[in-house]
């Protein structure tokens, strides 16, 4: 038996037995919030489909210690979390703020050097 106190783990376990469970999971607001929280502590590489249909790999974070001070949002925080699958992140390679929709994610690399 697998148990977890994490909301996202519970959702993942619930969806695991369903057809296209992973695809359904990434479209939930809970998954977007999960990513926002983890990106506030670490850097990840996210591959997603852009609006124009092309794929993009972006090394990103929401961790202010990894973001240059002059690029911090005014007021000291990113936009408040919403009940959508949009995630606002700082693109490490382009040194700019960007956003992606979790429903367009194809791959996530959790440990990026």
Closest among 85, 92, 95 to 45, alpha carbons compared: 92
Encode pLDDT of 61-107 as tens digits: 999 999 999 999 887 555 555 557 889 999 999 999 999 999 899 98
- The predicted structure's pLDDT at residue 4: 41
- The predicted structure's pLDDT at residue 76: 58
Largest distance between two CA atoms of the chain: 48
pTM, rounded to two decimals: 0.75
Q: What is the mean pLDDT of residues 33-41?
A: 91
Q: Where do the structural domains in the chain lie, given as residue ranges?
A: 7-109
Structure confidence at residue 43 as a pLDDT band (50, 70, 90) = very high
Question: CB atoms < 10 A from the CB of 82, how many?
Answer: 13
Helix (H) or strand (E) holding 11, with range, is: helix 7-16
Which of 1-26 are b and which e, b meaning 16 or more Cβ less than 10 Å from the residue's Cβ? eeeeeeebeebbeebeeeeeeeeebb
């Amino acid at each position: 038996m697998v148990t977890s106190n994490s909301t996202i783990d519970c959702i993942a376990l619930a969806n695991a037995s369903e057809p296209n469970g992973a695809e359904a999971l990434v479209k939930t607001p809970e998954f977007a919030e999960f990513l926002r929280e983890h990106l506030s502590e670490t850097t990840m590489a996210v591959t997603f489909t852009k609006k124009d249909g092309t794929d993009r790999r972006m090394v990103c974070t929401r961790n202010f210690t990894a973001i240059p001070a002059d690029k911090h949002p005014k007021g000291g925080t990113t936009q408040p979390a919403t009940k959508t699958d949009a995630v606002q992140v700082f693109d490490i390679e382009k040194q700019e703020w960007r956003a992606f929709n979790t429903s367009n994610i194809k791959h996530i690399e959790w440990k990026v050097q």
